[in-house]
Amino acid sequence: MSAAAPLTAEVLPAGLDGFIIRFALTPDPAAMVAARRFANRLEDEAPKGVTEIAPALVTVLVRFDCARTGRADRSALRARMEAMAQEVIAGPLDMPDPARRWTIPVAFGAANGPQLAQVAGAVGTSEEAAVRDICAADLRVLTIGFAPGQPYVGLLPEAWNLPRMAELNPSVPAGALVVAVRQFVLFGAESATGWQQVGRAAFRTFVPAREEPTLLQGGDAIRFAHATPAEIDTLEKGGDPMGGARLEVLR
């Protein structure tokens, strides 16, 4: 993922106690890299008063302590964000090396991925080749949202730039792996969605009773590993919300 067109960066007020740093209005791949690089950098050297850093796809929300941030401090913080954002878009614009990698077993097709055939057709390949491509892709958690711990994972090659469906998928189960616009979402709970379901994992993205209720973090590398439906069923019945997922700490 490298930048093709020059990016812009805007620092915009968001509520009384925040800024949104925006690298694009649309889900531009280079802007996704910039947002991730900016968030990483901010996490490494958070300016005084910053209380929260939350990256979306192509924007980063920065919240600060409004009560302790006067006019001058607010201007200084804004200037700091602007300078940092300019440095980020000056490049390099490669996705930073991941700190961690997850390998998550997924069963594809048939009952576990009712729309795999349709998706493969739209991509212009066979079901087997589509699964092979998915499992070979070097993917990242682009952002987490919609529900706690629920990741947007990408980016797949351009051929996977599939539109959301006009008709909603009325219900996909927890663990559903759905695809659209070069991205996957791994659903944390049963949900309706306009994305197409290609697989199912036993990994659970949100377990309130767990010490860490959510495990995935923005920027984590993700590999999907091909599992049989029986393996996913066994993992699910085993009750371990990790669902056979493996975590490697890379740095």
Partner 1 sequence: MTALQITRADGILTVQDMGRPGHLAQGLSRGGAMDRRALLEGAALLNTKSPLAAIEMAGAGGEFSVTAPTRIALTGAPMAATLDDAPLRWNASHLVTPGQRLRIGGAQSGTYSYLTPAGGIATEPWLGSRAAHLSIGIGGALRAGDTLPVGDDPEPDRPSHGLPPEPRFDGGTIRVIDGPHTVLFSDAVLDAFYATAFRRGPRGNRQGLQLVAEARFGTEHAKGLASDMIGPGDVQMTGDGVPYVLMAECQTVGGYPRIGTVIPADLPRVAQAAPGAVLRPRRVTLDEALATARSEADELRDLSGRCTPLVRDPAAIRDLLSYQLVSGMVRGDEFDATWPHST
Binding site for partner 1 (CB under 8 A): 10, 12-16, 18, 20, 22, 24-28, 31, 51-59, 61, 63, 66-67, 71, 143-150, 152, 189, 206, 208, 213-214, 217-218
Q: Least distance to partner 1 from the beta carbon of 157, Å?
A: 19
Q: Least distance to partner 1 from the beta carbon of 221, Å?
A: 17
CB atoms within 10 A of CB 196: 21
Q: What is the 3-state secondary structure (H, E, C) of the chain?
A: CCCCCCCCCEEEECCCCEEEEECCCCCCHHHHHHHHHHHHHHHHCCCCCEEEEEECCCEEEEEECHHHCCHHHHHHHHHHHHHHHHHHHCCCCCCCCCCEEEEEEEEECHHHCCCHHHHHHHHCCCHHHHHHHHHHCCEEEEEECCCCCCEEEECCCHHHCCCCCCCCEEEECCCEEEEECCEEEECCCCEEECCEEEEEECCCCECCCCCCCECCCCCCEEEEEEECHHHHHHHHHHCCCCCCCEEEECC
109 or 175: CB nearest partner 1: 175
4 or 16: CB nearest partner 1: 16
CB atoms within 10 A of CB 249: 8
Q: Least distance to partner 1 from the beta carbon of 63, Å?
A: 8
Q: Least distance to partner 1 from the beta carbon of 125, Å?
A: 26
Q: Least distance to partner 1 from the beta carbon of 148, Å?
A: 4
d(CA 241, CA 108): 19
Q: Least distance to partner 1 from the beta carbon of 43, Å?
A: 9
Longest dimension (CA), the chain: 61
Q: Least distance to partner 1 from the beta carbon of 245, Å?
A: 17
115 or 150: CB nearest partner 1: 150
213 or 238: CB nearest partner 1: 213
76 or 135: CB nearest partner 1: 76
124 or 208: CB nearest partner 1: 208
12 or 90: CB nearest partner 1: 12
